[in-house]
Amino acid sequence: MLEQVARDYVIRGLGQKEFDNIPYDDDVILRAPLNPGGSRVPLRGKENLRLHWWAPLPGLLKKVTLLDTYVNELHSSVAVEFHCELIEPACTLRVIDRFKVNEHGQITEQENFFDPREVTNPV
């Protein structure tokens, strides 16, 4: 189930540009370098993610390529490695996202790991 959640996030969510295909819990917590305040200040709540984190993504995403998934020993979290090609600025982010998933297969916590300089300081 964990690997499927991670794959669905990349392929069905980001890849198809469909937020509703991402199985977020209503009280999800997201930490990301490009959030206001960076990873130190998480966004909380599914609708808050939809309004503030997701809103610009469909217009920026060109293509995502799933590379691999990694499940922890306790089977309580999964990481997914993928490349995310952006339209503007034109670049490819090398991303690893970590998800904590509840017993219902919903993402309760997510943290993005990538170098934001490709976006914040394009060459």
Tens of pLDDT, residues 68-117:
999 999 998 999 999 999 998 899 999 999 999 999 999 999 999 988 88
Domain boundaries, the chain: 2-116
**b vs e for 38-65, b when ≥16 Cβ sit within 10 Å of the residue's Cβ?**
eeeebbebbeebeeebbeeeeeebeebe
Instruction: Give the Cα separation of 98 and 91 in Å (integer).
Output: 22
| Model pTM score | 0.91
Tens of pLDDT, residues 20-52:
999 999 999 999 998 888 899 999 999 999 999
Q: CATH fold of 2-116, please?
A: Nuclear Transport Factor 2; Chain: A, (3.10.450)
Tell me how many helices (H) and strands (E) the chain has: 4, 6
Given a contact cutoff of 8 angstroms between Cβ atoms, the answer to whether 51 and 30 are in contact is no
